[in-house]
Every structure is written in C-alpha cells, then in structure tokens.
Structure 1
Amino acid sequence: MATQIESRLFLLTLPILACVFPGSGYARETEKNGAIIKGMFVFGSSLVDNGNNNFLKNSIAKADFLPYGIDFPYGPSGRFTNGKNVIDLLCDQLKLPLVPAFTDPSTKGSKMIHGVNYASGASGILDDTGLLAGNVISLNQQIRNFEEVTFPVLEAQIGFKRELLPKYLFVVGTGGNDYSFNYFLRQSNANVSLEVFTANLTEKLSGQLQKLYRLGCRKFVLMAVNPIGCSPMVKANRPTRNGCIQGLNKAAHLFNAHLKSLVDFSKQQMPGSNLVFVNSYKMIRDIIKNPVSRGFKDTSSACCEVRSLNEGGNGILCKKEGQPCEDRNIHVFFDGLHPTEAVNVQIATKAYNSNLTSEVYPINVKQLSLL
C-alpha cells in the first residue's frame, strides 16, 4: 500500500472528460467529408484544468504563476504545464478555438458558444476526493455546472435543442485522485481490495456517463490515468531499481483496463452512443522506455524547480518564479507530476490520428468526430 507521501502523486492527476458540440451558424467543418464540430466542453482535473482553480478560494492546487505557462501564448493561465495541455492540442487538431474556464467571471454569453472548461485540479469521481487540497470542484458538480448553468444559456443564446446533442463529441476521463484520497489514505478502505475498489469506482463513473447520455450526449472519449508511479515525485522519495513505483502504476493500469472495458459495456447500456478509449498511460510509458527515438532525453527529473515537502510544498508543484530547464522539449515531466507540452503533443496527436488499438480503442478521435 502506498504511503501518504506516495499517494500525494495523485493530488493533481486525472484523465479527461470533455464534450464537443456542433450546430448553429458558429459550427466549423473540420473535415472535407462533412464532420461539423462546434466546440468542446471539458471535465476533469489538473491534466486538463485551464484555470478554474485560479478562481477558487482556499485551494492549493493552482498553477497561475511562472514558470507554468512559460511557453503558453498568454503566459501562466492555470494550466499545469509549460505550454498547452492535451485539451488545447485536441482543439488544434479539431480546428477549434481554446475554450474558456467556467469559473472565470468573463466566461458568459457568446464566449461559451465554442465550449467551456469545467476541470478542477485535484478533483475526482467521488465527491469528497480532493478535499485535502482545499476547495475543488468534483466531477459531479462539473456535470451539474454544464447541465444547470451552461446548457440553459446555450438554449437561450442560439436556440440550441437537445436533439442536436447526438452530433456532439464527448471526451471523458477521471480517476487517479480517487485512489490517493480514498483508497490509499482512508482506514475505511483497509479491508477493500484494489480490484473491488476499482470495480466500484468504474461503476460510479459509468453512472455519471449515463447521466450525460440521458442529457443527449452520444460521442465519448475516455482518457487513461497516466503512469503516476514513474513521476519525479515518486523517484525523489523512493528510488527503485527500474525507476517506477509499481504499486501506483498497478492501480492506474487496473483502472485503465476497466475504463477500456467500459467502452464496450457502455455501448450496450447506452444505445446509439460511440466511445473511444485513449491510452495515454501506454503512450507515456513508451516514451520513458525508449525516449531517444521519440525525441526525449530526460524521463525522470522535473523540468522546473519543485517545492519540496521540507519547503512546505507537496513535492509536485513548481516553485513560484523558479528557474525552469532550458530545453523543455526533451523533458517528459515539467513539474513533479505533470507532463510537458512536448508529451501532450504526442498524446493529442495519437489520440486524433493513431490506428493502433493499443493506443486508441476501438477508433481514434478523428474517426469518432466523423461518425
């Protein structure tokens, strides 16, 4: 079982939940054969948070300072990396504008036409996940924000009707933080096996996807939990022979296996839906195993100066105004946990274009967008 220090690796980690909408005069044609995508609605945690936590009081999960955003066009924005995150890069692939953060007071009216980002660093599938990081927005609340706040505005602004939702694309993912702040830390889980906890967690996520389905969403993309056991935070506190903590990777790998199975299961439970699983776990592990062939050199150390436990930090986030490495493109990790933009580029590119079912299952995002 992971120690409290190891479990902090999950503090800001989650895969992705996103939703893409076509329709209205604002729709864009992304492919010559007629795929029309209007925008993207994003749900998740720090891997996809583009600034929501900036506006939350009493939250320690923030990245609104340099060196975060050093390579981002608008500087520090709340993204937990040096440049763009995976969602930004998927927007590029789909020829969509970057979507605004839900909690930003300026996100209102026509600014929501191309989508909204609801993601919150340290949040999870379970409502109480992330409380140790202070104020965060759970996945359930993120979905409510979409249903109860954004959707009514879209209906009022552009006369949007639920009948159009089957043409929308949903990218969905979450899970890592629920292990650290529930399974690995709470005594109530002492007698619960990893397998049982994972099955229950997946069932909870399935119910959340079905809620979106009942709202009219039909196209989903599930993004894997990354290999947390290979992060610089782990290596700084518990060096191992192969460089990764297998116990943490086992939890992530097991959840991802359930997530992939959920693709097939959900198609039966949600008639007319289409789901894609993006195996970012495998993509990052492949880079770590053979970095040079993929353009990387440093697979183990953080690119920025990380604020350690001894300095009052969590061993994950960069020091404010700290000095980053000179060549971010050869580093796998930007801080103690989150990947660099260079890694995000590879994940987003493969999510959109890969024809390997070991990377995207059963089809890629581009093919899903054309259905």
Structure 2
Amino acid sequence: MSLKTKSAPFFLLVILTFVFLSPICNGDQFCKFARKNDECTKVQGMFVFGSSLVDNGNNNFLVKSLAKANYLPYGVDFPLLEPTERFTNGKNVIDLLGDHLKIPTYIPSFNDPSTKGSKIIHGVNFASGGSGILDDTGVVAGEVISLNQQIRNFENVTLPELEEQIECNSKKSLKNYLFVVGSGGNDYSLNYFLGLVNKNITTIQDFTANLTITLSHQLKRLYDMGARKFVVMALYPNGCSPMARARNPNATDCIQILNDAAQLFNTNLRTLVDSPTLQMPDSTIVIVNAYKIIMDILQNPSPYGFSDTKNPCCDVATIQEGGTGTLCKKGGNVCSDRNANVYFDGLHPTEAVNFVLANKAFSSNLIDEVYPINVHLLSIV
C-alpha cells in the first residue's frame, strides 16, 4: 500500500478537526448576520422590552400616550442633539450597553415606520414608557404598550421579518441576541399603590408573587421562540426619587414603602432565576441589580462624581401645577452640570448614572451587582 493511501485518513482527520474546532465567530455559519467573522462575537444585537427606563421612542407613535419625552430638555446631551423619546438628557442604559457590545447602530424603536428590512438585524426596542408586566398597568398614562403586547409585536411582526433578512430560523438565530427586559416598577407606582390591583390580591406579597410568576411566563415565551441570553433589570429604588419625595413632603429620607416593594420584587426575581421550575435549559438569565448600584451612588455620591442626589436636573411640572412630578416641563430650564445630578427628571436618572449602570452590568465581578455573571461573559458564552 502506498504512503499516499495510508496517509489519506490522517489528512482527512486533520481537516475535519480544523473545521469542527475552529471558532465560528458569528455564532452560526448558516445565518446571514451583519457582523463580520473577524469581530469574533456571539452577540449580533439586542431585543429590548420594558418601560421608560429602556424606552427609546415607541410612545411617540401613540396618540393618546401621556408618557412621552419627545421634547427638550430631554435629549439635550444626546449625540443627535435632539429629543429622542429617551427619558434622560443623553443616552439610556440600552444605548450604553450597545456601546460596550460594539453594536454599530442605535437599536431602533418598533413603532417607528422605518424600523424594517435591514434596520432590524441588530435588534429592535419594543419598550413603552408607563407600561408594566401586567396588562392593566399604565392606564393612567393613557395609551401604553404592555409587556405582553411587546412580546406579541416581536413574535408576530419582527421575528418573521428577521428570519427573512438573515435567512435563518429563530431557533438558530435568536441564541445570538441579548433579550433585555426592564419592567416592573410601574406595576407598583401606576397600579398597586394607586389601588387599581385585582381585588382578589390584597397584600403586596401576593401582588409581587403574581408579578414574578407573570414575568416568568413572559420570559418562557421568548425562550420558546429561541431566546437563550437574557438580561433582566432589577427594580430601582424609586422611593428615593424626587417624585416620591415631592409626594411626601414631610419625609426627610427615601419613602421606604416604595423601596421595600422594589426589594421584595428583586428578591423574588433572584429566586425565580435560581428556581429549577423555570424550565429554560441551556439559557442564561443575568440580573442587573440596579437597586444596589443606584443606592450605592445615593449613599456615597462623591466617588462617582455626583453632588446632587435629591433634586431633578430639569424643571418638573409639579402636582400643584397640574403635572405628575415626573416629567420635565417642555422647554424648561435644565441644570448646567448634568453629570453632577443623579436624577434628570422626577424619576429617571441622568446619562451619568446610566453610564455607571451599564459599566457595572457589563463588567462587574460582584454577584450583588450582576448575577450570576456579567453581560460581557454572557455575550461570549
């Protein structure tokens, strides 16, 4: 037998080993992803669900919505130098996470008529200011898009178009995207504490249990479509917001009942992620503990560069003026040093706070800030 004949199986083995062990940087060689192989990333983009803390424009297209930020001073520091429906002075936490992940474009809002075709291949933002996990949350804010409806929008509209764009079914493609969910705060402030809750649910413990069970079903729906990488934002300490303080003028500190509710939800969220009953094998859910991160800033602001932890940076329409104590006045004054303020309006943080949140979400190794791993590690698993 010739040397050539003897060596053929060996060379074939070498070739097969190279093919199967070489890294495929775009996650799946059969999907026509936009990001090039030499970028060596497994994250092609983000699909975002939630409320105003992650919203970037969907409510602009809701005629009856009262929760809009499409006017100055919102966006005063945004790179496009114009209001963008982000409830802050510049970038929100989604924009900044996108920067860390080197996503080449801002994630477009679902309701924007131009969000179609190749514009969706890096992800879509479905979030709606004033919305919640529960369908009846946010009715006082006029027209909003509930988390359930956001997921339906993804499933019925965006997902079929994405499959067409990248010529790949969702079971193969969605594992290469982050699914970011930031919802739940409004379910307390615009539902439970307004007395709008189902009469069969009487205690905050029962309400919170129902809330987290509902969220688990929503995450499972996304999982069943093919999602495998999740980032869930824990609730913020909204009891420390200027809005909460203004509604309780005799209080000298944060409104504890609001913070207790947030902490109860966050505890349940952690339990949910650790629960074997979630039945989402081969998936990873990262919790960003925004509560702790922001409380650290509020309690020790100087190392982060903040000097004002209590006041909104913009002029806010008070309850006495017919406002809600939450949103900036249209064309109102704004503080000169936005980097020194924790809050931009009565509820939402400044870009400087969002910067800290995104940095810690992406790279912190402390499990009381991100659990069980950070977003960077999630993006490469």
Map 1:2-151; keep pairs closer than 5 Å.
23-27=31-35, 34-74=40-80, 75-96=82-103, 97-151=105-159
Q: How far off its partner does 1:40 sit? A: 1.1
Q: How far off its partner does 1:173 sit? A: 3.0
**Structure 1 Cα separation of the partners of residues 70 and 166 of structure 2:** 33
Q: Deviations over 1:208-227 (max 9, x none)?
A: 11111111111111111110
- Judge which range, 198-207 or 167-176, deviates more: 167-176
1:12 maps to what in 2?
A: none
**Structure 2 Cα separation of the partners of residues 44 and 30 of structure 1:** 33
1:177 and 2:186 are equivalent in the alignment: yes
Give the length in aligned residue pairs: 349
**Structure 2 Cα separation of the partners of residues 62 and 191 of structure 1:** 31
**Structure 1 Cα separation of the partners of residues 292 and 276 of structure 2:** 22
CA change 1:150–1:239 in 2 (3 A) is: same
Q: How far off its partner does 1:180 sit? A: 2.6
- Asked if the contact 1:305/1:335 (under 8 Å) is kept, the reply is yes
CA change 1:301–1:110 in 2 (3 A) is: same
Q: How far off its partner does 1:191 sit? A: 6.1
Q: How far off its partner does 1:167 sit? A: 3.2
Q: How far off its partner does 1:312 sit? A: 1.6
**Structure 1 Cα separation of the partners of residues 227 and 374 of structure 2:** 18
Matched residue of 1:37: which SS?
Answer: coil
Contiguous gaps of at least 5 residues in structure 1:
1-20
**Which has the higher relative contact order, 1 or 2, with Cα contacts under 8 A spaced 6 or more apart?**
1
Matched residue of 1:116: which SS?
Answer: strand
- Asked if the contact 1:288/1:299 (under 8 Å) is kept, the reply is yes
Letter in 2 for 1:368: L
Q: How far off its partner does 1:163 sit? A: 2.8
Contiguous gaps of at least 5 residues in structure 2:
1-26
Letter in 2 for 1:300: K
CA change 1:230–1:215 in 2 (3 A) is: same
CA change 1:352–1:29 in 2 (3 A) is: farther
**Structure 2 Cα separation of the partners of residues 201 and 307 of structure 1:** 31
Letter in 1 for 2:53: L
**Structure 2 Cα separation of the partners of residues 267 and 86 of structure 1:** 30
**Structure 1 Cα separation of the partners of residues 304 and 189 of structure 2:** 31
Q: Deviations over 1:158-177 (max 9, x none)?
A: 21212322333222231111
Map 1:1-371; keep pairs closer than 5 Å.
23-27=31-35, 34-74=40-80, 75-96=82-103, 97-164=105-172, 165-184=174-193, 185-186=195-196, 188-189=198-199, 192-239=202-249, 242-265=252-275, 269-371=279-381
- Judge which range, 191-200 or 287-296, deviates more: 191-200
Q: How far off its partner does 1:25 sit? A: 3.7
CA change 1:267–1:203 in 2 (3 A) is: closer
Letter in 2 for 1:215: M
Q: How far off its partner does 1:108 sit? A: 1.3
**Structure 1 Cα separation of the partners of residues 189 and 251 of structure 2:** 23
Q: How far off its partner does 1:178 sit? A: 1.2
- Asked if the contact 1:28/1:36 (under 8 Å) is kept, the reply is no
CA change 1:334–1:129 in 2 (3 A) is: same
**Structure 2 Cα separation of the partners of residues 69 and 83 of structure 1:** 5
Q: How far off its partner does 1:27 sit? A: 2.3
- Asked if the contact 1:124/1:174 (under 8 Å) is kept, the reply is yes
**Structure 2 Cα separation of the partners of residues 121 and 301 of structure 1:** 21
- Asked if the contact 1:233/1:336 (under 8 Å) is kept, the reply is yes
**Structure 2 Cα separation of the partners of residues 225 and 113 of structure 1:** 29
Letter in 1 for 2:45: G
- TM normalised by structure 2 equals 0.88
Letter in 1 for 2:99: D
Q: Deviations over 1:316-352 (max 9, x none)?
A: 0000000100000010000000000000000000000
- Asked if the contact 1:226/1:281 (under 8 Å) is kept, the reply is yes
Matched residue of 1:83: which SS?
Answer: coil
Q: Deviations over 1:55-77 (max 9, x none)?
A: 10111100000000000012101
**Structure 2 Cα separation of the partners of residues 263 and 110 of structure 1:** 34
Identity of aligned residues (%): 60
Q: How far off its partner does 1:29 sit? A: 6.3
